[in-house]
Amino acid sequence: MQTMNCRLITSVLLLFHIGTTCVLSTFTNEFVANIEGGPEVADHLAASYGFNNLGELENFPDHYVFHHQGTQKRSIRPSTGDHTAIQHESAVKWIEQQKIRKRVKRDIHWNDPKYDRQWYMNRQNAPNMNLEAAWDMGYTGKGVVVTILDDGIDYTHPDLAKNYDPFASGDYNSMDSDPMPRANYDQSNRHGTRCAGEVAMEAGNKICGVGVAYNASIGGIRMLDGDVTDMVEGTSLSAHRDHIDIYSASWGPEDNGETVDGPGRLAKAAFQEGINTGRNGKGSIFVWASGNGGQARDDCGCDGYTNSIYTISVSSTSERGQAPWYLEECASTLATTYSSGSSKEKKVITTDLEGRCTDEHTGTSASAPLAAGLCALALQANSNMTWRDLQYVIVLTSHNASLEDSDWFLNGAGYPVSHRYGFGLMDAGAMVQLARNWINLPQQRSCEVRFVHGKHIGGKGRLGTFTLDTSSCAQGPTYLEHVQSTVELTFSCRGALSLTLVSPAGTHSRLLARRPMDKKQGSFDSWPFMSTHFWGERAQGVWTLQVANRIFRNWVLTLYGTDSLPSTARPPKRPDDNRDSGRGSATAETNLNVPRVAVPRSLDYSPCHPECFNGCSGPLASDCFKCLHYRDRKTDECVARCPEDGFYNPPALHTRCKACAPTCLSCAGPSSTDCLSCSPPFFLMDSECVQKCDEEFYKDEESATCLPCAPLCRQCEGSATYCLTCKPHALLNAEDHTCQRACATNEYLDVSTCRRCSNVCYTCSGGGDQDCLTCIPGQVLKERTCVEEWVCTNGYYVDWDLHGGDKECLKCHVSCQNCNGQSSSDCTECREGHILQDGACVANCLDGFYKDDYDNCLACSHGCDQCTGEDQCVQCHSEFSLVDGQCKTGCSEGSYEHEGKCLDCHFLCETCMGSGPEACTSCKRMTDDLRYLLEGACVPFCPEGRYEDRDTLTCGECDETCKTCTGSEVNDCLSCYQGFQLNRGSCDEREGSHCEAKCKECVDGFEDRCSSCNASKYLQDFDCVDSCGQGYFTDDSIRKCVRCNPSCKTCDGLSSQDCTSCYENRFLYDDSTCDSHCPYTTYTDRSDWRCKDCHSSCRSCSGPGARACETCDGDLFWSDNQCLSDCPSGTFGDEGEQQCLRCFPTCGTCDGPFSDDCLSCSEGLRLVGSRCQPGDCPARTYQDGDGGCSNCHDTCIACKGPGASDCQRCDYDRFLNEHNECAEECISGYYPDYESNICRPCHISCKTC
């Protein structure tokens, strides 16, 4: 018998089955039995036949799992033996030995050689775009047409040929139907072929890889390999509109961080018409790459293609889920697909020219075609979806679980969204699953609201906020999709501009971030910024636009959306921040922890905590999106008052609690002198935390406070009455350590004898009138003598002694004539030459005020920073111009605006656009010297061929037949050119005239006045010349010399921006204009009269190189004509001034924001908190050469010696000068810093400032 033959195994099987098999089965030692009678019967039968009953089979009543110890675990033969007789029991309906059945997974596994390396489609145990799930449901793009708008596609490629669709293709560079890329030496025209392969590489043909929608039809429009005009873009975007479903574009304006550009008139019309009529009225699908300008810190909000509501703007993420270096962030990005990342991360595999395959496709160029393929799968699942339906499906199914970004936040409808990735990574399986049952959205609704409050100004360096209420949009959308903000802004440096839009639900969407590469001057004129971040939110309410660093002129808010949502598009429930189990909670906690959005009113949630402001994600104080009062920095909870352990209430609501100085346990402000209680080992002494209490105070350990000693103690310890030393004329009791008066109240101790005080004293330290310690009732102590209370005037005030209730006559602050307290802000009357303002005596009124004849400080006029009278402004706010002592928003006639100042026109100009005599736009009417405007200049008479128009003061053109004339008509001639004769005001041709040889044609009657020239000659002023003269340029199309713009000396075009050289004292800038002043970011090079760019670190400069900066760019600080990232030792970076300022003289080093925020101290001082204080001497004293403490000069708050006037800090109305003296005024070349009371040097370019 042959062993390989099939055996007939005859056996009494447990189901009475006798079979013949050609496959060897493997039997186990487990049996399943169907037994009636319940578990007790099953247990009894199992025990009777040697089985163990493992229990009832789940979901199968009366079915039991038996295990038999005597049966092998694995056997090719069924079990035999006595136990098999159980089948004959009446309660046993059947029993079957279990055998292992071979089963295989029906996974897709293509034979394409690079499919296994297409990580973004199929990698296991790592995030991917879930394509195989969509393919498993049968969706492969079949019946959907995708076209790549690019440099053509190689449709002969063996991995594209089967799916190529010639009816979805064309060539709009060569104007034919063949999209084959133009061959060139570097094969740079491969971009379109690579994009096409991502979408529709054929599957299972053993070539290259597999396309996302491998059964979709693929076409190509060749339009990038030539001059790209609006006509080329418009015809490409509208090509075969009824046949093509999806247009994929991986191009746009330059990604250089300084370009603002978008579709032209025809391209815009193509988008609009495609949405309205494409795909039989359901709308063409436009998929767009968001841009590769990340390295230049570009913003795709400045790209009018990705910024359109009609395009699906697609961003990129790398293999690791990180932001690639080229990624651009903006508010219009809808979703993300995979692409290349760092040099060590994988790229995208696709088709290449000449039948090759590449694994080097990169950038957002690779992301957009992947998204187009995913859209094809969704359209196959439901071809009835509109362009808006498809965008909804993308929003609802994209996820952020694998994408790294600290910027994720929940919008007001509960969707997680990011400026980098939109709504997240696209998911093919989820898209087709949702698309299959999608219910079409209602018709799109829109509403436009305009900012109607006139001109508003946002100060330079400040944040301007503007609001619009959309409650009037009754017929507009209820639920939002796209929100568009069309703005008009003026700026001196466009790259410094930033815009943020805040919805009624509290969602913040950054419409435009700062672009450091964009140095352009000018304005945004009706540029539409679009955001998808408000998707699903309610539309009505107050919207806020935050504008930083520019002049704001106008704002139009356009809301797009729908009045109701189908059940398939309901907003998601917000994640429960308090849950501790369930799939995805960790992701939600990690990625969505953003406290700045509010719950939309459309959803029914439980009430927020009472301390929440404008919405929450749960009932707790830590669930608030914004706080009614303050947010606790430690617990992140909203609180009515900040905790007293290290924090204090900030001045503004809805903000985080502010931290106290390090030495404070609790405080009322940020300074080390604002403490309310102290951290160990410090003690509170007059609102300051110190390690050593002042004399006459002791450390109270329980309250961590410096408390006063008993009145007679000079030093005490532990308690007020445990004295260590006594004040003069008091004796220390050695037994109880108390200090007792040595003599009676009105006596003093003279060696060992008590003598009476002077009659004017109540207590005293000697017998003279100047030795009083306290006074009798009705008198006050003034400088150790007792006087009547009314005498305490003229620089003195009455103060109550806190301990004894006695009155004392104390000196006012040095700046006061009379006062009611010791501070510089307690003045009630000032000395001559000073002015009382808000309790302080100042030499001059503060900025924005002026001194009137009665020494009062009155407010300057609107827009004025400094003035000498109500209408006598000398310096305006940055957004105003100074005109005749007044601040105006525009310049008056006779002047023009240049960098925020109104400069005078030339004396002959009435109005002008520059300072020169050839920059006039109208002429000044002068009685005895009329001037007429001729090409920008005001001339005393008009040349031949022109007449003097006394009404408009311009040189009008005569009829071409007139040499001189009185008007523009043909019969207004006064004289005629040679060859013509005057006849009743008209110039008629003389008979028999001929042209000279140099002329091809000449003016009738004038042989030497050419009207056209022979070949190689150019017509200039009725003469034929070989080359054009100065002030003219050659127009080859008409063979004429055309006069340059009056601002140009030489030129190559008619515009003022076509200059090639300039007249004296005018400078040529990069945009080919001649100006009397170089733009802000350039300097004047007088060697060639050109405006040249400053060094990259400078914002403005006086010359080339890094050491000629006048102001600085970005986060740099100005110091000694350089822009530095780190300030030199002894200085700190002031972010407001954007320059390195000198540390306070007491500091060795400091870090701001104030000059006396010390990090280390000058010699002889010690650091207490962030302040440097004298080592041993009290305040307002210094250690002299004898080791004693001497008083500082009256004007010093602190001094260091060796003299009393060697000040370190000055009093309120004095300023520390370069000689360390406290002066009333700063000398020329310095300006007063009122914050630190220091004379700071002016900029090097200023004589005074």
Q: Please list the active-site residues.
A: 150, 191, 365
Q: Are 829 and 846 in contact (CB under 8 A)?
A: no
Distance, in Å, from the CA atom of 336 to the CA atom of 425, rounded to the nearest integer, reads 5
Summary count for the chain: helices (H), strands (E):
10, 98
SS3 assignment, position 731 = strand
Query: C-alpha distances in angstroms, 147 versus 219, 764, 917, 1122, 1144?
Result: 4, 105, 58, 53, 68
Q: Which candidate, 811, 800, 812, places its Cα nearest to that of 774?
A: 800
- State the number of CA atoms in the 13 A half-sphere of 690 facing the CB: 21
Distance, in Å, from the CA atom of 537 to the CA atom of 860, rounded to the nearest integer, reads 46
Longest CA–CA span in the chain (Å) reads 148
- Kindly report the number of other CB atoms within 10 A of residue 245's CB atom: 25
Q: Residues for the chain: how many in total? A: 1249
Pairing of strands 647-648, 655-656: unpaired
Q: What are phi and psi of 128, to 5 degrees?
A: -145, -175
Query: C-alpha distances in angstroms, 418 versus 323, 364, 391, 595?
Result: 12, 17, 16, 14
SS3 assignment, position 195 = helix
- C-alpha dihedral, 824 to 828 to 829 to 833, nearest 10°: 40
Could you list the beta-strand ranges (E) of 134-239. Answer: 145-150, 170-171, 217-222
Bond prior to 1153 in cis (omega within 30° of 0): yes
Q: Which residues of 104-140 are buried (b: 16+ CB within 10 A; e: fewer)?
A: eeeeeebebebbeebbbbbeeeebbbbbebbbeeebb
Q: Which candidate, 778, 782, 784, places its Cα nearest to that of 808?
A: 782
Q: Are 747 and 759 in contact (CB under 8 A)?
A: no
- Amino acid identity of 297? R
SS3 assignment, position 222 = strand
Distance, in Å, from the CA atom of 716 to the CA atom of 698, rounded to the nearest integer, reads 6
Indicate left, alpha or beta for 488 from its phi (over 0: left) and psi (-120 to 50: alpha).
beta
- Say which residues have a Cβ less than 8 Å from residue 235's Cβ, sequence separation at least 6: 172, 266, 270
Distance, in Å, from the CA atom of 529 to the CA atom of 512, rounded to the nearest integer, reads 8
Distance, in Å, from the CA atom of 35 to the CA atom of 47, rounded to the nearest integer, reads 14
Pairing of strands 357-361, 348-351: antiparallel
Sign of the torsion formed by the C-alpha atoms of 592, 598, 600 and 606: positive
